Amino acid sequence: MRIVNPVLTGFWSRFRSYWTYGAAAAVCVALPLVIGSASAKLSPAMSQQGTILLVLLFPAFLFALSGSRLLITYCLLVWAIGPELRRLSDWASGEYTSVSILSLAPLLASSMTIIPVLRGIHLAEKSCRRVLLFFAAALLYGSVIGLARNGTSSVYDLANYGIPLLLLPFFAVRRFSGEDTDKMLSGYANIAVLVSVYGIIQYLTVPPWDAFWMNHVEMNSIGVPEPLEVRVFSTLNSPGPAAAFLACALVPMVLEKKWRGTLGWIGPLLVAFCLLTTLVRSAWLMIIVMLLVYIATSPSRRKWRTLVQLTAVALIVAWALPKLPGAEGLTARMQTLTSIEEDHSYNERLDLLHTMLPTVLHNPVGEGIGSVGTGTKLGNEGALGEYGIMDNGFLALLLTFGLAGGILFFGALGTLGKEIIAVIIGKGPLQLYARLSLAVWAGAIASLISDNGFPGMRGYLIWMLIGMGLGAKEIIRTGKEEERSWSSPT
């Protein structure tokens, strides 16, 4: 039996509190000096971007020091509006930049989760540490190969993989209550509604800063900067991420009343209509998989209620879709789901599979992190590299991590799914969140048919929703007394 000295415990608790407040005060004093010194040496455009970046990071730092649930919601907001702030900055300066330091804002804000993780990592269970070990081994392998072959782009890409993954240990050690988790999901819903409202405005009017960006970015797949002619990307940087952000929000909003946000049923309808204007069909595949998994694991009485709700939403969307401005293009795009063999993008993905599969099989070592996706811009003068666009997530992961790293990565995903299923079988009081986590896990794997969603913003959404289920598992096993140990260290 361990004997705890109350005097030493109290002293240590006060010391940690004083240290935290002292560190926050020091940052508050030093930050204006750093901003002023750096701004004097930078161009006006870079100075403006640097100031915006620091303003975005400071609240995340304060939320991380306190271990607040607001850190998650705030980081979601930064992921949502960061690209739009970059476009506004470029438009205001009259100069388009293919690589901007504002692009780092979501990653740097999300990296603040390392503070509460380091403070409470000893609270994580062995099962959580085992999953993290698998992922860490895969990332270490991929980064070693990537650093040798891809240079600095591998560092950026590693951050896109690793920083969102911090959410798994964050939820395991922070142990949010069910009420806190509901508030985070409701906050996500409210942000998604704001993104949707702006997306609808963008579809109808195309604001000048968005048109400025479209004219310079050279991305033919997003349409032309004219009303009703644009594939909506809202405040995100392209239709794909916008659709992923809305899809991951729409499923919880439809499933549970307490996750719908402030506007109730109006919120899911706005999100669904905006999602249609992105014309990203793979997002609907992810939604269907998530809904089916959630319904299949729900109690019988809840199954029928959820099915009735989904039917009502589907009927409303089907009735309203033909009445929307530009409905002809939206309807034609959705009709290709019933004749997929005639769809151009489907045939391109099929050709990619036939072309790239031999390349992957003849390269068991892999190209390393930084070889696939937007990170290739860093080593290619702002332009996408050879594998910058890879419309198959399985091929992208195997090309990045090779055979050994791929086994580790997919092994980690399998172990993670097994852990979530164990929570559902256990019939705990917070099983609701575990079912959502399993649905997201299945949806993320299914979406690999189209692209790799684990790095960057989609990775943040996936690990956030999955982490909530693992956090619920921690609460079920250890009880509320240990949950309070976060605020009362011993």
DSSP 384-437: --TTS--S-HHHHHHHHHHHHHHHHHHHHHHHHHHHHHHHHHTT-TTHHHHHHH
**Percentage, residues of the chain above pLDDT 70:** 74
What count of Cα atoms within 13 Å lies in the side-chain half-sphere of residue 278?
30
Band (pLDDT 50/70/90 cuts) for residue 387 is low
**What pairs with residue 223 in β-bridges?**
230
- At 487, which amino acid appears? S
pLDDT digits (tens, 9 = 90+) for 105-129: 999 999 999 998 888 777 777 777 8
Q: Is residue 490 part of a domain?
A: no
CA dihedral 317, 320, 322, 326 (to 10 degrees): -100
Question: Which residue has better confidence, 99 or 291?
Answer: 291
Average pLDDT (395-420) is 89
**How far is C-alpha 39 from the geometric centre of its chain's CA atoms?**
31
Whether 9 has a pLDDT exceeding 90, the answer reads: no
| pLDDT score at 130 | 87
Phi, psi of 455 (to 5 degrees): -80, 155
Q: Which domain holds residue 76?
A: 17-323+340-483
Cβ-based neighbours of 403, under 8 Å, separated by 6 or more: 364, 365, 366
Q: Is residue 364 part of a domain?
A: yes
Question: Which residue has better confidence, 129 or 247?
Answer: 247
| pLDDT score at 449 | 86
Residue 443's closest CA among 289, 223, 270, 248?
289
Query: Is the Cβ–Cβ distance between 87 and 137 less than 8 Å?
Result: no
Q: Is residue 250 part of a domain?
A: yes
Question: Which residue has better confidence, 450 or 346?
Answer: 450
Query: Is the Cβ–Cβ distance between 463 and 470 less than 8 Å?
Result: no
Band (pLDDT 50/70/90 cuts) for residue 208 is very high
Q: Is residue 180 part of a domain?
A: yes
| pLDDT score at 331 | 66
Band (pLDDT 50/70/90 cuts) for residue 246 is very high
- Which pairs with CB-CB distance under 8 Å and at least 24 residues apart come from 143-149? 143/368, 143/369, 144/368, 145/365, 145/366, 145/367, 145/368, 145/369, 145/402, 145/405, 146/367, 146/368, 146/369, 146/370, 146/371, 146/400, 147/368, 147/370, 148/368, 149/367, 149/368, 149/370, 149/371
Q: Is residue 328 part of a domain?
A: no
**Percentage, residues of the chain above pLDDT 90:** 28
Question: Using CA atoms, how far apart are residues 39 and 50, in angstroms rounded to an integer?
Answer: 8
Average pLDDT (212-231) is 83
Question: Number of folded domains in the chain?
Answer: 1
Average pLDDT (402-407) is 88
Give me the residue label for tokens 């390269």.
Answer: 363
Q: Is residue 489 part of a domain?
A: no
CA dihedral 390, 105, 464, 168 (to 10 degrees): 90
Average pLDDT (324-332) is 63
pLDDT digits (tens, 9 = 90+) for 424-483: 887 666 788 889 999 999 999 998 888 888 998 999 999 999 998 777 654 544 444 444
| pLDDT score at 488 | 39
| pLDDT score at 39 | 47
Calculate the alpha carbon distances from 486 to 71, 89, 279, 291, 489 in Å: 16, 40, 44, 34, 6
Question: Using CA atoms, how far apart are residues 293 and 271, in angstroms rounded to an integer?
Answer: 21
- Return the axis-axis angle of helices 239-255 and 178-205, rounded to nearest 10°: 130
CA dihedral 35, 40, 46, 52 (to 10 degrees): 20
Type and span of the H or E element at 160 = helix 153-165
Considering the chain, what is the average pLDDT of its residues? 79
Query: Is the Cβ–Cβ distance between 423 and 469 less than 8 Å?
Result: yes
Q: Which two tokens stand for residue 254?
A: 């439809």
Question: Using CA atoms, how far apart are residues 143 and 194, in angstroms rounded to an integer?
Answer: 37
| pLDDT score at 177 | 81
| pLDDT score at 481 | 40
| pLDDT score at 487 | 42
Band (pLDDT 50/70/90 cuts) for residue 253 is very high
Band (pLDDT 50/70/90 cuts) for residue 271 is very high
Based on its alpha-carbon atoms, the radius of gyration of the chain, rounded to whole angstroms, reads 23
| pLDDT score at 167 | 92
Residue 231's closest CA among 251, 212, 214, 208?
214
Query: Is the Cβ–Cβ distance between 489 and 12 less than 8 Å?
Result: yes
Band (pLDDT 50/70/90 cuts) for residue 314 is confident
Q: What is the reported pTM?
A: 0.83
How long, in residues, is the chain?
Answer: 490
Q: Is residue 9 part of a domain?
A: no
| pLDDT score at 343 | 53
Q: Is residue 460 part of a domain?
A: yes
| Alpha helix ranges (H) inside 239-386 | 239-255, 266-278, 281-296, 300-320, 327-335, 344-361
